[in-house]
Structure 1
């Protein structure tokens, strides 16, 4: 691992206060290897995408979101799955971030996608859609390890802390792989 301090921006694709995915994102931040930090951006103020709003520059909440992505070395997305797909709030945020009208901040940005769900299969279908959108925007998406956290309510305690040791190990391994990915991609730019 390099000696440069890495900044990772994390978002949850859910706006719910007690979102399982926000809990997992916080857990990922706790599993960040030394030399890297995760900051979390809440998407609740990002307006619905509307190209008319871009004419005079991005709205303030969108500009804040884009600046946070630009300042980060990597982009971490933890997504739920709604009706076998990506949540609208997440698609909306990615549409703003990838819009070329003012600037596409996802181009050449290392990214990693994972997710948690009460369903046994986790968020496989949602993650595929998120990865497709990121790839279309030019992001460098880490494909492995795939991390689908199913039956998540049984893995989290009443305080919102992950209790499942196997999942904790997988989260730690995923963060190590993502940090390595970021460093590799930075070396290729």
Structure 2
């Protein structure tokens, strides 16, 4: 199974990177690639720019990674209730590649974490509404509130047993779907 873990942040100290990296360790016999938005930095999307210069290679590369994945784990950072600008720009450019859809119906687990009590719930709600219109096959979502209290940074894992168990169940769910699709 090929897993593409997308860090929807361009922060060098991203807590969503820590969450998605931990989630990848819960899969058995998986080939994992972790990417963040710093790998796909492009000019801010503008239609005129697209007409004049075409779609940047970074967007093509991002789409290729999606197309070669069996499962997507996407951990979105929340900026003012929605995606980070870095993520939104990659999303916008990738949406311009025709005739494909952004997510190409690859099964995905959407995740978010934040220092506060909502745990990135706003960005997950935004993604749940938007992604299906762009080929998003959302199997489940997971949020980890109060990151600093619920994630052991030295052990690089969720320390809250209830939330850890919840994530493990969701990983099993997406793994089972992928197993069925492989047959």
TM-score (norm 1): 0.82
Aligned to 2:36: 42
Q: 1:167 aligns with which of 163, 167, 175?
A: 163
Question: What is the correspondence of 1:52-91 to structure 2 with a 5 Å cutoff?
Answer: 52-55=48-51, 57-91=54-88
Q: 2:176 aligns with which of 173, 176, 180?
A: 180
8 Å Cα contact 1:94-1:133 kept in structure 2: no
Which 5+ residue runs of structure 1 have no aligned equivalent?
1-5
CA distance in 1, matches of 2:138, 2:11: 26
Cα deviation 1:92-122 (Å, max 9, x = unaligned): 2222233244643423222221110111111
Aligned residues: 179
CA distance in 1, matches of 2:135, 2:152: 38
What's the RMSD between the two structures over aligned residues? 2.3
Q: Greater CA deviation, 16-25 or 93-102?
A: 93-102
Shift of 1:180: 2.2
TM-aligned CA distance change 1:158 to 1:40, over 3 Å: closer
TM-score (norm 2): 0.84
Which 5+ residue runs of structure 2 have no aligned equivalent?
none
Q: 1:26 aligns with which of 6, 21, 24?
A: 21
